[in-house]
A and B are shown apart, each in its own frame.
Chain A
Amino acid sequence: MAAGATYVPIATQTLGSSATSVTFSSILGTYTDLILISFAQGQASGGDNRLVLQFNGDTSTNYSTTYLYGNGTSAMSARDSNRGQVDNVTQIGDSGSSSFSPFIHHIMNYANTTTYKTILQRGNDAGDTTTAYRQVGTSVSLWRSTSAITSIVIKGLGGNSSSGFSAGSTFTLYGISAA
């Protein structure tokens, strides 16, 4: 069995000031999976800060997600179908606090042009200023497209409205190549 080093950092972005979104573009198709690791805080007031993804500029209702999460009291599951983005499994930290939220998205077999794309997500929002948003969870999402993913937009939402990410939020994209 031949082995080769992989898990290659492709690009990283640390926000020096707030931004509505972060884009990774011109992603080459040379890897098998992509891993996006985010450590982010949102700009919306009221606590409902969200981190969502869109691929290749597609804002149509081609996305869906099944969730498993807990809020400290109960374990729950939910589903969103025919959505315009890969939705967040939990909220993220709020502007004005020191809380940032870690998210990891595994974007599987992103460059293949035969199947739809499946995304595994883990995230938590342990330090949210709103108690009800202090959750941990995982989810699986589907993007109903056979196109290879060449760009990823990461958007910061407040509820369903654009609000952005705080300065200091970090986003790093890695590539993994199978043998």
Chain B
Amino acid sequence: MPILGVIDSGKSGHLAPATGFYSIATQTVGSGGAVSVTFSSIPSTYTHLQIRAIARDGNSSQDGFWLRFNGDSTSGNYYWHELYGNGSSALAYAEAPSTVNFAGQIPSSSQASQIMGASIVDILDYSNVNKAKTIRALGGFDGNGSGQIGLLSGAWNNGNAAISSILIQNSAGVNFSQYTQFALYGIK
């Protein structure tokens, strides 16, 4: 027989609240679209960062989005790899070296307007000054007959600098559509 879960969103004292995962800031794209968003002045008080995104392209060809840290666009400072599936084949791709870290595929404007891609990006030990920074991401979209899902990894090696700002940009240089949202979290 069906089992009903114990629901509490409105009660206190049912399940202990989490204490190690913190919302830091959110960027939401308005009706005019935006080619990029930036998180700046990121405090170094967490161990890891996570970006949770829903996004959509203003372009009619399928694109994605990438990250750039501390304003660094130096070719050779970034490396990234992707394992992805397009609904019929599993494929791999890499850009090493690169000027960015790719972080997810998003649906094009030719998809139904309500379809959004999703991506979850982990940026590990982002404030440590003794390590190159590593990211990993899971992301993609499904268009009921089209779509892509991928696992990504990336590295940023720029003198082991702590990450204090993140630029997120559409990989085609066109606008993200309205309702695109990037939420930054800190993990202790």
- Report the number of A-B residue pairs with Cβ-Cβ less than 8 Å: 217
Considering the complex, give the chain A residue whose CB is closest to the CB of B16. A9
Bound CA span A118–B112, Å: 13
Measured CA separation A173–B9 after assembly (Å): 10
Cβ of B86 within 8 Å of any chain A Cβ, yes or no, is yes
Please judge, given known A-B contacts A6-B21, A12-B15, whether A64 and B6 are in contact too, CB under 8 Å.
no
Whether A7 and B43, one on each chain, are in contact in the complex, defined by CB atoms closer than 8 angstroms, is: no
Which of B42, B84, B120, B144 interacts with A144 by CB under 8 Å?
B144
A5 to B185, CA, bound (A): 9
- The size of the chain A interface, using a CB distance under 8 A, is 69
CA distance A15 to B84 in the complex (A): 35
Known: A120-B149, A142-B147. 11 other contacts (CB 8 A): A3-B23, A5-B22, A6-B21, A10-B7, A25-B4, A32-B183, A68-B151, A114-B179, A115-B115, A176-B52, A179-B24
For this complex, 22 residue pairs linking A to B, each with C-beta atoms less than 8 Å apart, are A3-B24, A5-B19, A5-B20, A5-B21, A11-B5, A28-B9, A32-B183, A66-B140, A68-B85, A77-B86, A77-B87, A79-B87, A108-B118, A109-B54, A118-B117, A122-B138, A140-B139, A140-B148, A140-B149, A144-B114, A174-B18, A178-B23
A-B residue pairs, 7 tightest by C-beta:
A77-B85, A68-B85, A79-B87, A7-B21, A75-B90, A178-B183, A28-B9
